[in-house]
């Protein structure tokens, strides 16, 4: 578990759908991991296919999708939401997509990409992502370049607002936006080497029920999406200065990229904070056929 001034920084990957049982002041000890099987991923869209999809005629608007104001009513504090349709190349919902947040463990996706680029074993990367292992993250961060991981991948992918942490060793303090997180997923699905794509997606699809620190990760996308497959990367931290809680992933046979970033009041319990994030995804899930 990565700690800074007694602050818990954790996150990535959720497992099977269930109630969140985390209390505000402490995280329950780890229980037995319950990972989903690793299905063979379907072929990713090629760059040319993605370009063709972007040029497709407009589809009929999705009825019942909430607007930003309706979503903001569900989360006191700061909220960003972005839903991207890879088939059409369009954003279906965009609420404050360029607002910055401490990434917490969402930065592990960049650490994983750099680890594979530098030849780290696939099993290490799977452990990093599927169990949201902070110890592995810290070790890779120190060995592979620290802040240079962030600046290097921001340049490669075209992340316009992602910034390294102010404190070089504090990887969870990396700043991200919903728009940049979507760009990370689009790179992974459309441009990354096939081996990298398979390793990362299998880890995100087979998330353990709890992270290596014991945090119950069943919130947001995996708690709200019940009718389709998903692969997720979760993030949370407190109190920096608020309670950051993020859910992100791909759903619907990898058609949709979903990112919800929040900064809730520090006095909010983890149970309430996670319920609010799940409520945001549920508001999207019905109209888009995910539930």
> Which residue, chain included where needed, has tokens 């019942």?
64
pLDDT tens track for 36-94: 433 333 334 433 333 333 444 445 678 899 999 999 999 999 999 999 999 999 999 99
The number of helices, as runs of H, and strands, as runs of E, in the chain is 10, 9
pLDDT tens track for 111-167: 999 999 999 999 999 999 999 999 999 999 999 999 999 999 999 999 999 999 999
Q: How many domains does the chain have?
A: 1
> Do the domain assignments include residue 278?
yes
Lowest mean per-residue pLDDT among 59-63, 117-121, 185-189, 192-196: 59-63
CA-wise closest residue to 125 among 134, 116, 271, 194: 116
> Do the domain assignments include residue 1?
no
We report the CATH number of the domain holding residue 103 as 3.40.710.10
pTM: 0.81
Q: Residue 16, SS3?
A: coil
pLDDT tens track for 3-36: 343 333 344 333 333 333 333 333 333 333 333 4
Lowest mean per-residue pLDDT among 8-12, 103-107, 135-139, 237-241: 8-12
Full DSSP string of 120-173: --HHHHHHHHHTT-HHHHHHHHHHHTTHHHHHHHHHHHT-SS-B--SSTT-GGG
Q: Which domain holds residue 72?
A: 8-25+35-56+64-288
Q: What angle do CA 44, 48, 51 make, to 5 degrees?
A: 100
> Do the domain assignments include residue 119?
yes
> Do the domain assignments include residue 30?
no
Lowest mean per-residue pLDDT among 15-29, 180-194, 218-232, 277-291: 15-29
Tokens of 16: 């099977």
> Do the domain assignments include residue 112?
yes
Instruction: Band the pLDDT of 221: cuts 50, 70, 90.
Output: very high
> Do the domain assignments include residue 254?
yes
Tokens of 266: 């520090």
How many residues belong to the chain? 291
Question: For the purposes of burial, counting CB atoms within 10 Å of the CB of 21, is it exposed (0-12), middle (13-18) or buried (19 or more)?
Answer: exposed
């Amino acid at each position: 578990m990565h700690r800074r001034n007694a602050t818990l920084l954790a996150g990535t990957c959720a497992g099977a759908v269930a109630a969140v049982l985390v209390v505000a002041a402490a995280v329950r000890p780890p229980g037995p991991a319950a990972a989903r099987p690793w299905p063979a991923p379907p072929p990713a869209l090629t760059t040319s296919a993605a370009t063709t999809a972007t040029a497709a005629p407009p589809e009929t608007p999705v009825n019942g999708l909430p607007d930003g104001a309706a979503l903001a009513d569900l989360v006191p504090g700061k909220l960003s939401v972005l839903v991207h349709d890879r088939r059409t190349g369009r954003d279906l919902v965009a609420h404050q997509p360029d607002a910055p947040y401490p990434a917490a463990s969402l930065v592990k996706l960049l650490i994983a990409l750099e680890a594979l680029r530098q030849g780290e074993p696939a099993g290490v990367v799977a452990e990093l992502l599927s169990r949201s292992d902070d110890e592995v993250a810290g070790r890779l961060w120190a060995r592979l370049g620290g802040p240079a991981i962030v600046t290097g991948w921001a340049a490669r992918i075209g992340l316009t607002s992602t910034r390294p942490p102010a404190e070089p060793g504090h990887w969870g303090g990396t700043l991200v936006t919903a728009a940049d997180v979507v760009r990370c997923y689009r790179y992974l699905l459309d441009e990354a080497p096939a081996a990298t794509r398979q390793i990362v997606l299998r880890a995100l699809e087979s998330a353990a029920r709890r992270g290596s620190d014991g945090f119950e990760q069943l919130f947001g996308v995996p708690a709200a999406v019940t009718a389709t497959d998903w692969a997720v990367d979760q993030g949370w931290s407190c109190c920096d200065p608020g309670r950051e809680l993020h859910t992100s992933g791909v759903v619907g046979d990898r058609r949709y990229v979903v990112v919800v970033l929040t900064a809730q009041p520090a006095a909010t319990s983890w149970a309430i904070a996670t319920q609010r994030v799940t409520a945001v995804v549920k508001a999207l899930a019905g109209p888009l056929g995910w539930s």
